[in-house]
Structure 1
Amino acid sequence: MPTIADQTVEQLGGRDSVLARQRRDHVEMDRLMNEYQVLADGQDRERVLTETVQLVFSHAFAEETVLWPVVRRSIAEGQELTARVEDEHQQINDLVADVERLGPADPEREEKVRRVFALIRQDIRDEEDLLLPRLQDTLGAVQLRRLGAAWEAVRRTAPTHPHPVVPRQPPGNAVLGVPLSLFDRTRDALGPGSPTTTAKKVLTALAGLLVAAAGAVALLRRRR
């Protein structure tokens, strides 16, 4: 079964197919990680690391919300394959949460970044070599393009930072994703250098209320 890394865009179902969209994001992740590793300037490295984190988490959220449910329904070994990738996502989530808590000068931070990058590259290989080719064998080009449109819509509005409280599967991740995305994208817009200590406290409190409300909705749905 050929990896999607070596296929043409046409073989993947066209540039709008979910396979082509996935691969474009993977290429961009790899470019950003390589750029981070060769940069010497601290500010540039932090900017590139932030861009990497934002892309990785929005990409993974869209996978878990839109793509992996289709894989589990369509592929015999879908549950096993998606569980493997979701475990990698959780490890990345936990490590990036640690990285964001540590200052740039902390001696542990760079080692955690190295481990994050290694996990991201492993996750890309597992998806492109094992999981996505099986989906390609199951769905036609039209279905792949429709799935790609849904995946892209979610990716563009997904959370952009790690959140340990978010489940890896629907409906929990979809319900919690809305308030967390609002919080993340507001924080990204404010930027690390803006004088927003009070604003960030307010946003954190607001996000906490929204997450609590979303969690209550998810619990009620499960009980029903």
Structure 2
Amino acid sequence: MPDIDAITLLKNDHKAVEKLFKRFEKAGGGAAKTKRKIVDDIIRELSIHAEIEEQMFYPAVRAAEVPDAKDMVLESLEEHGVAKWLLSELDGMDPEAERFDAKVTVLIEAIRHHIEEEEGEMFPAVRKVLKRKALTELGGSMDRAKGIVPTHPHPRSPDTPPGNIAGGLASAAIDRARDAGREALERAKKAVP
């Protein structure tokens, strides 16, 4: 992948998750299996995205002394906390459960609000302070980190360094083993006639 700056990488993540949201909204009633797959993809995408923001982007924003960075970051961390609880409730929830669709709808609304604030307030403020080279180096580090951060929500884990980095490594190992087990089970189910 060519060099990508941190803000562009995060905006690309936002676009990817918005596509998933729209797919869920269009799925309609009676599409439980499809909705489950979409929600699993949303959980993975948002879990990874939140981790790279919390471990790398937000600390860089605060260190660069972006105006109002502390307040913007703290609000974002609180929004992440709410989203992680919803994601953890949805993770493995029966898609035919009475509150499944409602829970996903609340998640979508919360994330859309979060994205609007990041893209409308935080990202422009960061671009004014951090130079292109710094944003590109940060983007490269964030892109590489996507392969080693947790893939499921961990709402009780610390969300700021250094606790989130140490906890994230352990959680990521567990998540990736869990994902591999699920994938092996799915392959086995498909192989049985």
TM-score, normalised with respect to structure 1: 0.76
Q: Where do 5+ consecutive residues of structure 2 fail to align? A: 187-193
In the alignment, structure 1 residue 48 sits paired with structure 2 residue 38: yes
Shift of 1:58: 0.3
Q: 1:120 aligns with which of 108, 111, 119?
A: 111
Structure 1 residue 102: deviation in Å? 3.3
1:188 to partner: Cα distance: 1.7
Alignment match, 1:6 = none
What is the aligned-residue RMSD (CA, Å)? 1.8
Paired residues for 1:1-224 under 5 Å: 16-40=4-28, 41-74=31-64, 75-100=66-91, 102-191=93-182, 194=185
Q: Report if the CA contact (8 A) 2:157-2:164 is conserved.
A: yes
Aligned residue for 2:175, secondary structure, equals: helix
Identity %: 24
Paired position in structure 1 for 2:190: none
* Structure with greater contact order relative to length (CA < 8 Å, sep ≥ 6): 2
Shift, 1:163, TM fit: 1.1
Aligned residue pairs, count: 182
Q: Which runs of 5+ in 1 are unaligned?
A: 1-13, 196-224
Shift in Å at residue 100 of structure 1? 2.4
Deviation at 1:123, TM superposition (A): 1.1
Residues 39, 15 of structure 1: alpha-carbon distance in 2 compared, 3 angstrom cutoff: farther
**Structure 1 residue 39: Cα displacement:** 1.7
For residue 44 of structure 2, what is the amino acid of its counterpart? Q
C-alpha separation in 1, matches of 2:26 and 2:182: 24
Contact 2:33/2:95 (<8 A) preserved: no
Offset, 1:15: 5.9
Q: Which residue of 1 aligns with 2:191?
A: none
Distance in 1 of aligned mates of 2:180 and 2:24: 21
Aligned partner of residue 194 in structure 1, secondary structure: helix
